[in-house]
Amino acid sequence: MNVLNIALFEIKKDLRDKRTLIFMLAFPIVLILILGTALTNAFNSGAELGDMHLLVKNTAQSQQLQSYWNGFAQAISKEGVELTPAADGMDGKKAVQDNQYTAYAEIDDNGIHFYGSSRETISSNIIQGMLTSFADKYSLAAAALKNNPEAADAIIAWETSASSFIQETSLDPDRKPGSIDYYAIVESTMIALYACMSASWLIRGEVKRKTALRLAAAPVGKMEIFAGKVIASTIINFLCILTVVLFSKYVFHANWGNHLGSVFLLLFTEVLLAVSFGLGIAFLFKDDAVNAVMTIFVQLASMFGGAYFPVDEASGVFGGIANASPLRWANEALMNLIYNDDLQAVFPVMGLNTAIAAAFLVFVAITMRKREAF
Amino acid sequence: MNVLEIRNLTKKFGDFIAVDNMNLSVREGEIFGFLGANGAGKSTTINMISSLLRITKGDIQLLGRDIVKDNKFTKMNIGIVPQDLAIYEEMTAYENVSFFAGLYGLRGALLKERTEEALEFVGLGDKHKALPKSFSGGMKRRLNIACAIAHHPKLIIMDEPTVGIDPQSRNYILNSVKKLNQMGCSVIYTSHYMEEVEEICTRIAIVDHGKIIAEGTKEQLKSIITDTKETWIGVKNAERLDLDALKQISGVNSVRLEEQTVKIVSRGEINNLNWVIQQLIRDQVEISSVEEQAPNLETVFLTLTGRNLRD
């Protein structure tokens, strides 16, 4: 009963601590919004292209070529390529160099001569691809015309095959986090780790506030006080994470996948890890050093865990630090769970979190028992 | 009957002996003054009585039961008013008292009744919904007391409960202590204000270097030092005083200057007032008054310990 009373009192007290509460709620939400918006491009596999301008000098005499070219020109103009006939005496290459056009093409009865812009390489490559496709089809049609004119017309059927001048191929799988999705995950795990900060004050705070004296004089066991505080801190911090996750899901429309229960379970074990770690550090180090140790750990774990920017596979010292970050374990497991429906990915991380938490809690419990007062 | 019985109590921190073979008893229904300068060992003793510190040697009995063996029983019957405010600033006065009372097993209607009763007792009944951060120093001190009495302890330990508060709040607290005593509580009271101890305590112990060096009623303690007398001389230009020269005068035990008054403790049988005044004249100090003081607790303390209570 005392454990419950202490836990309820602690929760009520934490809810009154508006500064910490605002930090735990607003900080991750603002980070999701800012980083998720600012780094959108870093998570996109596509690029926006403007209009493509093709300067054309057509001196071909062949009527057949002229006819096919006109059909082709109509088809590609629908795809966003604006064709401009070169005026007499105009230096097409210089016009492209001057950035007036994306590419310049000279067409005569011998073929197509292409000159692309080095400034708009993607656009000029697209036009080049279209022209190559035209040239291939024209060569095929010209060959077919000799034996089967109907087949030649079918080959040069621009209206139906306009979109096939450039074949789109993507190396990315369909399911990949956007920036908001990514930051919703990593900021939630990061703020779960921040629970260690407030947890380091659970006993220390009582000593500083002098209320430890009253608690020690009351007929309550140290373990009851300890248990009540751990329960309260875990619950209140988990509620904060829950709020951040649901806010990001329903307001920012972040993708949390189809296994929300497993997501919450993993985050719960991370909060438990953070709370027990905070308590442990508070008992391991002297008062002044506790905050410093905690801040350095949280910042390094956040940075190398991918809370501020995605961290790819690293090697050496950085790789070692990154792999030691509990955030990295949690983030990778959550990504696998959400984007690959890999439920198995979360169990090892949950087990590891719980085991480390248990080790710290046992250490704190033994130390508390040994100490006089607190 | 003794509420508290301390026998051969010793507390060591490494090689340092904070409490040295102390023997002490507090009787039922008395307000027991526990006097000692900083570092004398009184807080360590109080902390052992409240089970905050482990006993190195000896034993403490509360209401006839050993505090180590019957730890829960003794804790249930002790209320602690610590020297430092031990309250939660972010919780209301009611929540503070209710939380601590709840730790003593009070629940439901009884908890509510006792919480309200404690707050009324210290005059904070109408402030029960207020946060302590909006309280004056005196109100916080009163809340500090309320948190210690809601569970109706038999023995209340008050460690400097009036530090840093205005005279009105001090009077309120002193009256509260007397009222608690009339209601049947025994009180151990420590203070740096000797006049408080003189006003409310029925018996007093003086502790120095971890030992009780004197114990008894005020009258008994004052009778210890009939061989000394104290003279207070009011002066106008105290900066000219040569205190060392005064200390050299025959029969003078100690000299101290408090604002514009020179306080001289001398051996009772020696009449040295003439020499003292001659020295003041030599120092060209202007004398405004001369008073022979009856022995008080402060003189007793000074004589026995060689230092002021506030040292």
Q: Say yes or no: A312 contacts chain B, CB-CB below 8 A.
A: no
Give the mean pLDDT of A15-21.
90
Check if B13 contacts A (Cβ < 8 Å). Answer: no
CB-nearest partner of B52 from A211, A216, A219: A216
Average pLDDT value for residue range A260-283: 95
B133 vs A: CB within 8 A: no
> Cβ(A133)–Cβ(A142) under 8 Å?
no
**What average pLDDT does chain A have?**
86
Query: pLDDT at residue A360 above 70?
Result: yes
Residues of chain A in contact with residue B71, where contact means CB-CB under 8 angstroms, are 219
Q: Do B103 and A5 touch (CB under 8 A)?
A: yes
Which of residues 11 through 50 in chain A touch B, CB cutoff 8 A?
Answer: 12-13, 16-17
Alpha carbon of A179: minimum distance to chain B alpha carbons (Å): 39
pLDDT of residue B187: 96
Please indicate if any CB of chain B lies within 8 Å of the CB of A4: no
Shortest alpha-carbon distance between residue A8 and chain B (Å): 10
Domains of chain B: 2-217 (3.40.50.300), 227-294 (3.30.70.980)
Q: Which residues of A162-177 are buried (b: 16+ CB within 10 A; e: fewer)?
A: beebeeeeeeeeeeeb
- The count of CB pairs under 8 A between chains A and B is 67
Highest mean pLDDT among A49-58, B77-86, B217-226, B289-298: B77-86
The model's pLDDT over B105-157, given as tens digits with 9 standing for 90+, comes to 999 999 999 999 999 999 999 999 999 999 999 999 999 999 999 999 999 99
Cβ pair A314, A322 in contact under 8 A:
yes
Average of per-residue pLDDT across A215-230: 93
- Residue A159, token pair as written in the block: 């209206």
Lowest mean pLDDT segment, chosen from A145-154, B72-81, B296-305: A145-154
- Partner-chain residue, chosen from A17, A210, A220, that has the shortest CB–CB distance to B103: A220
Asked if B147 has any chain A CB less than 8 Å from its own CB, the reply is: yes
- Other CB atoms within a 10 A radius of the CB of residue A38 amount to 11
**pLDDT average, residue stretch A160-188:** 69
Distances (CA, A) of A198 to A84, A291, B116, B172: 67, 10, 32, 38
Backbone torsions φ then ψ of A128, nearest 5 degrees: -60, -40
Compute the half-sphere exposure of residue B149: CA atoms within 13 Å on the CB side of its CA. Answer: 27
- Residues 180-219 of chain A with CB under 8 A from chain B are 209-211, 213-219
Distance CA A178, CA A185 (A): 11
Per-residue model confidence (pLDDT) at position A249: 95
Domains of chain A: 2-43+178-370 (no CATH), 52-164 (3.40.1710)
Write the residue in A211, A219, A373 that is nearest to B52 by C-beta: A373
Task: In whole angstroms, give the CA distance from residue A142 to residue A92.
Answer: 28
Task: State the Cα angle at B148 between B146 and B154, rounded to 5°.
Answer: 120
Say if residue A98's pLDDT is above 60: yes
Asked if pLDDT for residue B83 goes beyond 50, the answer is yes
Tell me which of A63-67, A222-226, B97-101, B288-292 is least confident.
A63-67
Q: What is the DSSP string of A325-361?
A: -HHHHHHHHHHHHHHH--GGGHHHHHHHHHHHHHHHH
Contact A16 B54 (CB under 8 A): no
Confidence of residue A170 (pLDDT cuts 50, 70, 90): very low
Give the integer Cα–Cα distance in Å for B78 and B240.
52
Residues of A in contact with B87 (CB under 8 A): 211
What does the pLDDT look like over A115-149, one tens digit per residue? 988 878 778 888 888 888 888 888 888 777 777 77
pTM summary value: 0.73
Q: What is the mean pLDDT of residues A83-96?
A: 88
**Measured between CB atoms, which of A9, A16, A213 is closest to B52?**
A213
Average pLDDT for residues A193-201, to the nearest whole number?
A: 93
pLDDT tens track for B259-289: 899 999 888 778 889 999 999 999 999 999 9
* Closest residue, chain A, to B52 (C-alpha): A373
Q: Is the pLDDT of residue A171 over 60?
A: no
B309 — pLDDT class (breaks 50, 70, 90):
low
Nearest-neighbour CA in chain B from A234: distance (Å): 20
The secondary structure of residue B136, as a DSSP letter, is -
Identify the closest residue of chain A to B91 by CA–CA distance.
Answer: A13
Chain B closest CA to A14's CA: distance in Å?
A: 9
- Does A161 have pLDDT greater than 70? no
| CB distance B230 to B295 below 8 Å | yes
Q: Which of B53, B102, B107 faces A372 most closely, judged by CB atoms?
A: B53
Highest-confidence segment of A37-51, A195-209, B220-234: A195-209
Q: How confident is the model at residue A314 (pLDDT cuts 50, 70, 90)?
A: low
Q: Running DSSP on this structure, what letter comes out for residue B286?
A: P
For CA atoms B239, B245, B248, B250, give the dihedral sign: negative
Q: Which residue, among A214, A222, A371, would best test binding to B if mutated, counting the most B CBs under 10 Å from its CB?
A: A214
- If pLDDT is split at 50, 70 and 90, which confidence band does B224 have? confident
Q: Is A314 on the interface with B (CB under 8 A)?
A: no
